[in-house]
Amino acid sequence: MHNLDTTTGRNRTDGHPIEDDREESPSDDPRRRELMALHAERAEMEQHLARAEQERLYLADPAAVAAAADAEAALLAELDRLMTRIRAAEYRSQPGARSW
C-alpha cells in the first residue's frame, strides 16, 4: 500500500527522517485536488475503454462490433487529451514551474 499524502517512516539518504514542513494538508492544495480529479477521470475512462475493447473483440453482431470500434477510437482520442491535461497539471504542481 502506498500513501502519497504522508512521509511517515521515510528517511533521507543520510538516515534522518524527512520532515514535512507544509502547513496545510495535501487535500487543501487546489493543484493536488485538480490532479487527483483528473486521475479519477482517467481511471473511469480506462474502464470504459476496456469495456469497448472487449465488446469489439467478443461481440458477434457486426453492427455492434463496429459501434464498439467507433466508441473505442473516440475514447482513445479523449484519453490522449486527458493525459495531456494530466501532464500539464503535474508540471504546474512542480516548484518553479513556468506558466506558458
Query: Among all chains, which residue has been given the C-alpha cell 455492434?
Result: 64
- Average pLDDT of the chain is 82
Q: What is the pTM of this model?
A: 0.66
Domain assignment of residue 18, yes or no? no
Domain assignment of residue 23, yes or no? no
Domain assignment of residue 71, yes or no? yes
Confidence of residue 9 (pLDDT cuts 50, 70, 90): low
- Residue type, position 60, single letter: A
Mean pLDDT of 26-34: 80
20: nearest Cα among 29, 31, 30, 8:
8
> For residue 83, what are the domain limits?
29-92
On the CB side of 98, CA atoms within 13 Å amount to: 1
N-term to C-term CA, the chain: 36
**Considering its fold, how many domains does the chain have in total?**
1
Give the lowest-confidence range in 26-30, 35-39, 87-91: 26-30
Domain assignment of residue 54, yes or no? yes
Q: What pLDDT score was predicted for residue 1?
A: 41
Domain assignment of residue 14, yes or no? no
Confidence of residue 16 (pLDDT cuts 50, 70, 90): low
Helix axes 30-58, 62-92, angle to 10 degrees: 160
Domain assignment of residue 100, yes or no? no
Domain assignment of residue 22, yes or no? no
Q: What pLDDT score was predicted for residue 98?
A: 75
Domain assignment of residue 34, yes or no? yes
